[in-house]
Structure 1
């Protein structure tokens, strides 16, 4: 298969899920001892999170562009950014490299469009829920995602950074997320986008009657589709 370049570490908890799912996916599709051809650059999340908090997106963009270029030079044939929030800076990656970039919002929107859902609830970091870089990208595909009210957004964000990114899975936080989902469903939401790659550690389709779109799993499937199709074309 062609080489997949992963820009990870933000957080490493979800990047580890990417790596596992990629390898499980290759094994399921190709069998035997096959595994994923992957290059991973795992960034130190602490300075990146500090850049996010102080709104220094230009510096964060420099970090991502450098990471992407290093992967391309190392032989990656496509790039996967293992975080929803940092897709705010997707243009910095595509501007620095020439290999295909698999945009997570596009992958998610296409998956939603394959269902009857058109007004899903978006659970994510505050940056992703409150800024247009992600919501607008979904809307371009006809997906008008809704977000929780302000206090709920703060709680969703806090759980991501203080718990999930640190590997802490708490039943009380899961119950809080499910309550937010139930409230949104009562107000007309017809799906749930797990719009932060760590949320899949807490919530799954088994927890909701609404269709659940796990962006990490969807991104992995898109990367495998691309990598295996490229291999087939090269054969």
Structure 2
């Protein structure tokens, strides 16, 4: 079994979900008392968020690269960033280390293609939806990518940052997100990417009819395939 390197803390709720799913996945695949070999470095969410707000992405990249180098020194065979938004600096982080980075956008896009989806919608943080670093990488796999109307971005951001990163799961927010996802389906999306780990705490496939592509779940499955190959 390979050792999985994780950069977490963005938010810690996200990191907890990754850690839990990785270990449950190994237990399911190998049985008994089996658990995942992992090395995690968790950064200060407040620090990197403030740098991001100030558009200091070189500062963000240095913090994540330093964490990644530590994870590599600790014996990780490959790296995962437990975040969507901070994949904004994924290439800079990957360039700073000698182990492969399992890029989230590639993993999700490959699953969309495997399920014969041609047009997919991304729901995530306002930053991830309004910039192209993530959608362009998905589109490079031959997919058409759409995002919710900009007028809905503040609502989604509020649900993520004011509720989900603090572990608050509210039914009223679930209804808002379901309505949003149903609207994306009506607008032609053949699938919807839950492009923020915390959204998986709120929305499940049973809540909507359109196929969902949950980033964390897919990222974890790809990591397990690699670690246990």
TM-score range for the pair, normalised by the shorter chain length = over 0.9
CA distance in 1, matches of 2:145, 2:157: 17
Match of 1:38 in 2: 38
Match of 1:84 in 2: 84
CA distance in 1, matches of 2:92, 2:186: 39
Match of 1:73 in 2: 73
2:185 paired with 1:188: no
Given that residues 182 and 210 in structure 2 are in contact (C-alpha distance below 8 angstroms), is that contact kept between their aligned partners in structure 1? Answer: no
CA distance in 2, matches of 1:158, 1:53: 15
1:152 shift after superposition: 0.6
CA distance in 2, matches of 1:113, 1:184: 19
4+ runs deviating over 6 angstroms: none
CA distance in 2, matches of 1:181, 1:215: 16
CA distance in 1, matches of 2:212, 2:104: 15
2:112 paired with 1:112: yes
Match of 2:168 in 1: 168
1:26 shift after superposition: 0.4
Cα RMSD between the aligned structures? 0.8
2:67 paired with 1:63: no
CA distance in 1, matches of 2:174, 2:54: 28
Q: Secondary structure at the match of 2:7?
A: strand
Given that residues 64 and 92 in structure 1 are in contact (C-alpha distance below 8 angstroms), is that contact kept between their aligned partners in structure 2? Answer: no
Deviations along 1:4-35, one digit per CA (max 9) or x if unpaired, are: 01000100101101111100100111111100
Match of 1:179 in 2: 179
User: What is the TM-score with the length of structure 2 in the denominator?
Assistant: 0.98
CA distance in 1, matches of 2:48, 2:37: 27
CA distance in 1, matches of 2:143, 2:166: 31
Give 5+ residue unaligned stretches, structure 1: 230-235
Deviations along 1:74-102, one digit per CA (max 9) or x if unpaired, are: 11111010001111101111110011110
1:116 shift after superposition: 2.7
Given that residues 85 and 128 in structure 1 are in contact (C-alpha distance below 8 angstroms), is that contact kept between their aligned partners in structure 2? Answer: yes
CA distance in 1, matches of 2:98, 2:127: 27
Given that residues 4 and 79 in structure 1 are in contact (C-alpha distance below 8 angstroms), is that contact kept between their aligned partners in structure 2? Answer: yes
1:115 shift after superposition: 1.0
User: What is the TM-score with the length of structure 1 in the denominator?
Assistant: 0.95
Match of 1:152 in 2: 152
